[in-house]
Structure 1
Amino acid sequence: MPDPAPLLSVLDLRERSLSAAELSAALPRAELDVEAAAAAVRPVVEDVAARGAAAVLDASERFDGIRPEHLRVPAAAIEQALAELDPAIRTALEESIARVRAVDSAQRRPDERVEVVPGGTVTQRWVPVRRVGLYVPGGRAVLPSSVIMNVVPAQVAGVRQIVLASPPQKERGGLPDPTILAACALLGVTEVIAAGGAQAIALLAHGAEDLGDGRGLDAVDMITGPGNVYVAAAKRLVRGRVGIDAEAGPTEIAILADAEAHPAYVAADLISQAEHDPMAASVLVTDAPELVDAVEAELAEQVAQAPRADLIAEALRGEQSGVVLVRDVEQGIEVVDSYGAEHLEIHTAEAAEVAARVTNAGAVFVGPHAPVSLGDYAAGSNHVLPTGGSARFGGGLGVQTFLRGIHVVDYDEAALKSARHAATTLAAAEGLPAHGRAIDIRFER
């Protein structure tokens, strides 16, 4: 009987010399057409902007198969979800909250005052966003951990108003999943909206005069949280009206490994992300062909035993997943920096040293005992991370996401005098004489 076909395709770069652009184009990557999705969801977003809650209910009935009785989740339902929560799950959620809060508490920045000249200071104030909307998906997998990852950094930043949206569940009578509601209760989030997809993003961005309970919903100033391509597209459409964290795409894992890597661990970690979605990306970068064979053998065994075996196999066989063979770890670092993975694991000798040389990744997991799934739940790090290569210019969700830097300029007359010549000279050079005049007049009158 012939051996089963490998799950992962192989890209061999050992004898190739590629430019930065050629390398980026050659690597496996999910095709995510946010522009096409934006065209599809634009009517929904515009309808919600025009008709408010009625449009959200219509969209929920169409896309979620349920027309919620309440868009605003009653306080009693949130309290009941916590009361009925499995004690083991409650303990796990509380542990995750404590760990994330411990990491986030160290990120809160104090105001920074710089005396530029005697009598002239510039202070950088860090001011939290006033009101944020947090989105938590509820599709193939229910993610109470995403409640934690969104809410905790916002709270540590000092955000005073938090509204959380999550899709209504048909089997729950139009309420979001009870585990999500219980996580909200644990964190003290009381404003929860039963809405998902593009309609939820539009509702958060535009607000509504009446959610059907006689009370309106104020628009938020920023929207954060993961979601599918339609959520990403809706965030793109409302960006500018509100701030957003990022346009999240399918989850990604890249693993940089050498011959010392444990094939069972590598295979398990590739599978852990593949089970999210058929478009999830699982990429192994290695200089050890023998590891590839061992990982394939592990994949064949472990995937067959996985509850979501068909979904996992589809993701691993997709064009977004595969093996990249490199000459050595040095070339491997070049490859993973070009890829800019959401999650990057380092399974090499001197893993910490290798990790320190990586510049493009959402989060880096060092060594055999730091799998991505640890970061998903209980490392203390945040799992809302940049995807699709956007780690080249963006970072994960954190306290800084919810803070705005405001410069406070305080100069007395002597300090202004010391800057007068430079400022008025530059104003003249730029052809903006009124700028210079606004300074000169203070010494003439």
Structure 2
Amino acid sequence: MSLRRNYEQMRLPLWTTRTHTRPLPRLLATLLKVALPAFVLGLVLALTVWDPHVELAFYSRSWVRQQVRPVPPLAGCFAPARVSPLYNATDALYAPHRTTVHAGMPLRLGMDCYNFAGLIHPPEDVAGYRPPDERLQYHTYWRTDLVPFGERQEWMLKSFFATQNLNVSRLVLWSNGDLSNNAFVQQHLQRYPDAFTSRVADVATLSAGTALEGAGSLWVEDGKAWVDGDLLRLLVLWQDGGVWVDMDSLLTRDLRPLVEHEFVTQWDCYDKVYVPFNGALMHFRQHSPYLCEAFHIMASSPAPRKGSTDWGATLYLKLWRRLTAAGVPPFSVLPFCFADGRSCRLDNRLPDPFAPDPRGGAWTDGMGRERGGGLDQALGKVFSVHLHNQWEKAFPPDGWVHRLLLSRYEQRLGGE
């Protein structure tokens, strides 16, 4: 027994010593010195071989299950007896189109989207004068209680006057307060009395006769003017018909070739499952049954969440799915670059409008940013540049926006 006890006493210190003097920290440090550089090198090598596309978005499963997945039936707005006499269903839904706006693919690669936009030819010249109410109506909206209407907002007006045919087009500036005495607005009201007007938005009046009439959700607002802006665009197009253009846009081409279609736009060049559509640029005819169905969806759904796209992208998706399930031709969807070329891959999205041009001035694949260069040619094919509400930012005085857009607006308007 004593021999065993002595043996165990001899082993314990040896075992303990070996256990506590293992060079684990030194081993980990060595591994990190080798593994970390190897990982970084492997990642760099992988990026030279592979072209990764990673986009993370998180959606509540209960929201998707309740608000997106179901496809209830239409409300019957397309029934012949319910279609307004102001809406020519045969012409709108089934007449052949001269222009094609459905590409049939996402158009993510290179200049594919811009080249496709270039296939749409300018409209034929329209001679003569049309009274203001008989013209193609364009609509936009500004909330006077958020930011004062100033020079940045005026650029959207100038882009309209510089790119659209003012003999056959009229822009209506809607707001929640009277802007007719604003200095930036007033000068254009005086200069273009038949092509420009301002109106105060009254949602109660605009919603009369729709499924939203008298609904409490008509007065929901948020600090971004998303919910109320999404509502107003549908109400004014229902009442007057025409083209909606978000105020944070700069028009680049005459939009008339597009208006044989009723359309919204693609959100970006990626396939966003639950928010594939955007309403920054859209067109619907007066008393369109598409809008009638949209109002029924809005009236039968929970009130929109503030700062959400519940009455925008999500609503358009619900409507599109119900239309196709009912066998009704859906509205058209313009490819992303027609109105929002900033939302795609790093190698083909429009450059940041608020960043100075880099040294060398190239855009993508060596395409220049000078007048007549690759960027200028792309802008001549698309129809609008969406700026995404970055009102606090200024355009660099030497940037491509000034050079290729703003200076041309001034040149064209000064030469009238």
Normalization by structure 1: what TM-score?
0.28
Question: Looking at CA atoms only, which structure, 1 or 2, has the larger radius of gyration?
Answer: 2
TM-score, structure 2 length as denominator? 0.30
